[in-house]
Amino acid sequence: MSFEEEDNFTYIVVKNHEDQYSIWPDFKPIPAGWEDMQKRGNKQECLEYIKTVWTDMRPRSLREAMDKDKDSN
């Protein structure tokens, strides 16, 4: 399968427990640890959506640790 063929797929935007986003082909089962964010579309549409909602690239655990350190100072 070529990359050109892949671009014809419909994708699902998924998010893991660390609030990290990705796209997943809608015809495959979503892997354990990832949840469906109810956004579907072609690759470009899904990547554009992720760009608007994933504004802090740090994993959730790092953000929480940094917030805890900030609060203790």
pLDDT tens digits, 5-56: 557 899 999 999 999 999 999 999 999 999 999 999 999 999 999 999 999 9
48: Cα within 13 Å, side-chain hemisphere:
6
Looking at residue 44, what is its pLDDT? 96
Tally of domains in the chain = 1
CA gap 45, 60 in Å, rounded:
25
Determine phi and psi for 31, rounding to 5 degrees: -65, 155
Distance CA 30, CA 34 (A): 7
Give, as one character, the DSSP assignment of residue 9.
Answer: S
Stronger pLDDT, 1 or 52, i.e. the higher one: 52
Q: Write the CATH number for 19.
A: 3.90.820.10
pLDDT at 68 (0 to 100): 83
